[in-house]
Amino acid sequence: MTLALAFLLLLFTIPLAGGRLGRLEALELRSIWLAALAFGLQVVIVTLVPEGDTGLHRVAHLASYALVGACVLRNLHVRFLWVVALGGLLNLIAIVANGGVMPASRGALDASGLGARSGEFANSDLVEGANLAFLGDVFAIPAGWPAANVFSMGDIVMVAGAFLALHAATGSRLAFRLSPS
């Protein structure tokens, strides 16, 4: 949810920088249904049916990343999408290294007011002795703030990539600064 909000906020930066949102229609996105399917899969395992077979949930979580990865590969022609993909890859590395769950630090969970979950699947949760913990959800939007949550370096890279891609696609004033000389 935090990433979705960040992406929506990015859209507001486009007109402020002289870009035209209407130019997004010209993007030739291929196989976008793969990303939509991945999103739906994550909604099911995290929100609708978080209880049940944890192993199956972890496999489904990894499968959602495979679906998004396939979509990204079909769309690498979009400028700066590779930066978004790099952020997703950082997250995937942390998730694979921890058996299908994004490790979250206790400090970040406490700061966000989320706390560790028990008895149900969470795509991000406390993992004792996490592998590659520095790639996990170690940052927090504090409790009491809108969209309080935890996030990772991969999430930051994805949002930065989305910023670059959106501004390049919409021809904002920032896009000229992003162009190679």
* pLDDT (average), residues 93-119: 90
- The per-residue pLDDT for range 16-39, each reduced to its tens digit, is 999 999 999 999 999 999 999 999
| Torsions phi, psi for 170 (to 5 deg) | -100, 0
pLDDT band at 1 (very low <50, low <70, confident <90, very high): low
pLDDT band at 5 (very low <50, low <70, confident <90, very high): confident
Residue 172 has pLDDT above 80, yes or no: yes
The CA distances from residue 130 to 38, 50, 120, 149, in Å, are 25, 21, 18, 19
pTM of the model: 0.89
End-to-end CA separation in angstroms for the chain:
37
Residue 175 has pLDDT above 80, yes or no: no
pLDDT band at 115 (very low <50, low <70, confident <90, very high): confident
Strands (E), 92-165: 102-104, 124-126, 137-141, 149-152
How many residues does the structure list for the chain?
Answer: 181
Alpha carbons 151 and 86: distance in angstroms, whole number: 15
Q: Which residue has the tokens 């979250």?
A: 104
- % of residues, the chain, pLDDT over 90: 76
Packing angle, helices 81-97 and 153-170, rounded to 10: 160
Cβ-contact 163, 10 below 8 angstroms:
yes
The pLDDT, as a whole number, for residue 153 is: 98
In eight-state DSSP terms, residue 44 is I
4 burial via Cβ count (<10 Å: 0-12, 13-18, 19+): exposed
Alpha carbon of residue 84 to chain centroid:
8
CA atoms within 13 A on the CB side of 127: 26
Alpha carbons 46 and 42: distance in angstroms, whole number: 6
Helix (H) or strand (E) holding 50: none
| CA nearest to 152, candidates 71, 75, 58, 86 | 86
